[in-house]
Amino acid sequence: MSPKTRMIEVRENVLKQNDIVARALRQRFHEAGVFVVSLVSSPGAGKTALLEKTLALLQPQFRVAALVGDLATDNDAERLARSQAPVKQIITGTVCHLEAAMVQNALEGWRLDELDFLFIENVGNLVCPSSYDLAEDLRLVLMSVTEGEDKPLKYPTIFNSADVAVITKIDLATAAEFNAAAANRSIQAVRPGMTVLNVSAKSAGGMKEFLQFLLSHRAAAHAVASPG
């Protein structure tokens, strides 16, 4: 057996283990009535900036919290903590994605039933996070207008594993000569019918629609959870 084959087999074991943890976690989220949204993207696409803005805008009305993953530093947690929302940093060391068990550990000491929204910011990576279920209700894949319109074609798995595509930094669209039609074509080629939202955390452009989208999906999840 070659080293390559063994690596794949072992990885499959780790994945199965992750699915077991994720299933239990999903059940807990469900029972607590917390709506869980995860964010994946390449490094620097603006996950933390979008989250900062989102926490600030939701907080007057909703109880929100966030977990943020990075290989090193707690810079993102520090940034998000300014919102006064509960925030925890998950340091992954050399691991290029979050796993359900890391989420589970980070939640220790938090009362989930006191939360309306939990956001999970994954490590900046367009490959590794795609196969790990974090028990989220909604997975957002972000791409910024400066990254190139063909990113979905080059990283199809992560776009396929996500529920929604969010184009970020639209305030830079003109300066970056962003071609929105081409980007949309790439997204639809990989995942036909995928919802695409446009936001700028800096100018707040598109944030109203983005929040509306989150709220309506949370409402829909609750309607399913407690029919009648």
* Residues that bind a copy of itself in the complex, under the rule CB under 8 A: 3-4, 6-7, 10-11, 13-14, 17, 42-45, 70-73, 75, 94, 96, 123-128, 143-144, 146-148, 150-151, 153-157, 169, 172, 175-176
- Identity of the residue, 36 or 201, whose beta carbon is nearer to a copy of itself in the bound complex: 201
For 65, the token pair is: 């919290």
Smallest distance, Å, CB 91 to a copy of itself? Answer: 10
Smallest distance, Å, CB 143 to a copy of itself? Answer: 8
Smallest distance, Å, CB 201 to a copy of itself? Answer: 12
- Identity of the residue, 10 or 24, whose beta carbon is nearer to a copy of itself in the bound complex: 10
Please give the single-letter amino acid code of residue 110: W
- 88 and 77 Cβ atoms separated by less than 8 Å: yes
Smallest distance, Å, CB 173 to a copy of itself? Answer: 10
- Identity of the residue, 127 or 225, whose beta carbon is nearer to a copy of itself in the bound complex: 127
47-58 helix and 207-225 helix, angle to the nearest 10 degrees: 70
User: Which of 104, 109, 130 has the alpha carbon at shortest distance from 36?
Assistant: 104
Between CA 28 and CA 204 the distance in angstroms is: 33
Smallest distance, Å, CB 194 to a copy of itself? Answer: 17
- Identity of the residue, 99 or 136, whose beta carbon is nearer to a copy of itself in the bound complex: 99
Between CA 123 and CA 69 the distance in angstroms is: 5
User: Which of 180, 208, 11 has the alpha carbon at shortest distance from 95?
Assistant: 11
- Identity of the residue, 29 or 178, whose beta carbon is nearer to a copy of itself in the bound complex: 178
Between CA 36 and CA 117 the distance in angstroms is: 6
